[in-house]
Structure 1
């Protein structure tokens, strides 16, 4: 989503994007696929360029070492990967389990388990995924991509969730 939605790269406040490692691996699939990421050819070229930039960022030797260290132990988090003054990434060696495997695909399961385990909200642009989270009564905070600035600036506290 960071490659697709440019406003995620210019948040009004500092943001730590917590990402399961498998989501980074998907960047390679997106880059190498013949299928377009976006419908418009100009948008598609721009997003694929951003994907290449993100891949280069994650392959940087210092960042790669931080990621490799996190991948040695299940659920280990990497040291922060600093993109700029406002954005850092934390990579999680998420481990899929059968808890939600019947309802969600493996990537969705890793996202929601990471959110639960690390007590961080989810950001999604997929209405079907959001609906499945609600229907399955998964106790995570999820923000639609359109509510990104609200999530960054105000958000909903755990106390608000209980109310």
Structure 2
């Protein structure tokens, strides 16, 4: 059984270790975060502090966009866009990792506490009953402070999150 997380598409570009996990992982990614990849790629604003890192991440973003635009992957993605909350079939990313795109909808249920993409992450997590994986410490804090009923892991705890689920399944 694969471990599932809700996350943003850009996390796949920034954190390559997500694609080479030691056990099967499925990343459920809101479609709006896939569209955000185009904005991040074309923006003059740096994503990373060091110029070399920024150039590398923007290259990885471009590669991920190109992969999503390949005919079979684009067909999988486009199929889920006709119906709210529909999911694509899995798009393989490496040996044990796959991405499933979800056509999530921001219903403004969390008001001003979370931006539209954060709201879609929260709603996708609740709907799919899987934890969020993020590198945004402020988002984690707001989730905890707001009492939002989702489980969330920091990217730095990714290996722990995988181990925790594995040990939970053994009991």
User: Do the two structures share a fold, i.e. TM-score over 0.5?
Assistant: yes
Q: Distance in 1 between matches of 2:50 and 2:44?
A: 14
- Segments of structure 2 that go 5 or more residues without pairing to the other structure are 1-10
Which of 19, 24, 32 is the equivalent residue of 2:34?
24
Equivalents in 2 of 1:157, 1:134: separation in Å?
A: 24
Aligned to 1:78: 88
State the distance in 2 between where 1:74 and 1:22 align. 12
Cα distance in 2, alignment partners of residues 132 and 156 from structure 1: 28
Q: TM-score, normalised by structure 2?
A: 0.88
How far apart, in 2, do the equivalents of 1:122 and 1:157 lie? Answer: 19
- Unpaired runs of 5+ residues, structure 1, are 159-163
Aligned-residue RMSD, C-alpha:
1.5
Q: Map of 1:134-149 to 2, 5 A cutoff?
A: 134-149=144-159
Q: Give yes or no for contact 2:37–2:61 (8 Å, CA) kept in 1.
A: yes
Question: Residues 99-147 of structure 1, C-alpha deviation per residue, up to 9 Å, x if partnerless?
Answer: 1122110000000000000111101111110011011111111001111
1:42 Cα deviation from its structure 2 partner: 0.9
Which residue, 18, 31, 48 being the options, matches 1:8? 18
Instruction: Tell me the TM-score normalised to structure 1 length.
Output: 0.92
Deviating beyond 3 angstroms after TM superposition, the runs of 4 or more aligned structure 1 residues are 155-158
